[in-house]
């Protein structure tokens, strides 16, 4: 059984280190060493929230994701990544941040030990719910081609105003990334009814247990996403 807990990064440095180590190991397995979301300067950012996946039997950290909110301390990882090829990302984020709360899901990963068990799907839905529970107004994500449909199922749409209709060569010359956004968290419209049902469950119930179906069977996951609502 897996468990997921959430916390603000500055409140649990030890868990941040475990998250970062696991994320870096997964990226190295795929030959990726330069990803903005894998840097560790977020450890001291008061506007970063972490969802950490742990194996209840072994205590091992096996996955996770982060929610970064716009602030005056650090640019969003998506800004650092995309500004290399399109400086317009800064003005785009600024427009969404004008008197509202915006940010992004980033650093989503799971170890090979739980590959195929649906954890990335679970975390995508959970991340949207966390953003909603935090009171965010919009939410960005930068993802690989094979996760675009997953994000669209969770309510994201491709942000075509930047890059090549929303796509970029990143983080390597042979890889493509796509920028997506939930433009209005208050009127969330997931593209898949099953996603919609699970996101609604996470929004309504901060703690619970759910069975996630993956290619390698069903995994039971307990979660606790209790966090203070933003002001």
Is the Cβ–Cβ distance between 205 and 109 less than 8 Å?
no
**Antiparallel, parallel or unpaired: β 157-158 and 167-169:** unpaired
Domain boundaries, the chain: 2-224
61-116 tens-digit pLDDT: 999 999 999 999 999 999 999 998 899 999 999 999 998 999 999 999 999 989 99
Please indicate, yes or no, whether the overall pTM of this predicted structure exceeds 0.75: yes
Which residues, other chains included, contact 122 with Cβ-Cβ below 8 Å and sequence gap of 6+? 4, 210, 212, 221
Q: Tokens 């493509």, residue?
A: 176
| Backbone phi and psi for residue 40, each to the nearest 5 degrees, phi listed first | -110, 15
- Coarse DSSP helix, strand, coil percentages of the chain, rounded to the nearest 5 percent: 35, 30, 35
Task: Give the per-residue pLDDT at 42.
Answer: 96
Residue of 221, 217, 225 lying closest to 54 (CA atoms)? 221
Task: Give the per-residue pLDDT at 36.
Answer: 56
15-33 tens-digit pLDDT: 999 999 999 988 876 666 6
Q: Does domain 2-224 have CATH number 3.40.630.30?
A: yes
- Of residues 27 and 198, the one with the higher pLDDT is 198
């Amino acid at each position: 059984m897996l468990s997921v807990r959430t916390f603000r990064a500055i409140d649990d440095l030890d868990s941040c280190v475990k998250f970062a180590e696991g994320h870096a190991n997964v990226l190295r397995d795929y030959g990726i060493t330069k990803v903005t979301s894998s840097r560790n300067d977020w450890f001291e950012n008061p506007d970063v929230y972490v969802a950490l996946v742990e194996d209840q039997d072994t205590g091992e950290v096996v996955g996770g994701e982060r929610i970064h909110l716009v602030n005056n301390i650090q640019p969003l990882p998506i800004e650092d990544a995309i500004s290399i090829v399109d400086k317009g990302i800064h003005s785009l984020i600024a427009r969404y941040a004008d008197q509202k709360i915006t940010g992004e899901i980033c650093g989503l990963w799971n170890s090979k030990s739980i590959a195929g068990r649906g954890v990335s799907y679970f975390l995508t839905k959970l991340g949207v719910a966390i953003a909603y529970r935090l009171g965010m107004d919009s939410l960005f994500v930068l993802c690989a081609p094979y996760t675009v449909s997953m994000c669209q199922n969770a309510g994201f749409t491709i942000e075509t105003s930047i890059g090549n209709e929303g796509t970029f060569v990143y983080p390597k010359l042979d890889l493509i990334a796509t920028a997506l956004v939930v433009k209005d968290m208050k009127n969330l419209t997931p593209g898949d009814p099953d996603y919609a049902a699970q996101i609604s469950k996470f929004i309504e119930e901060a703690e619970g247990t759910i069975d996630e179906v993956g290619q390698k069977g069903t995994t039971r996951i307990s979660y606790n996403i209790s966090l203070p609502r933003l002001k």
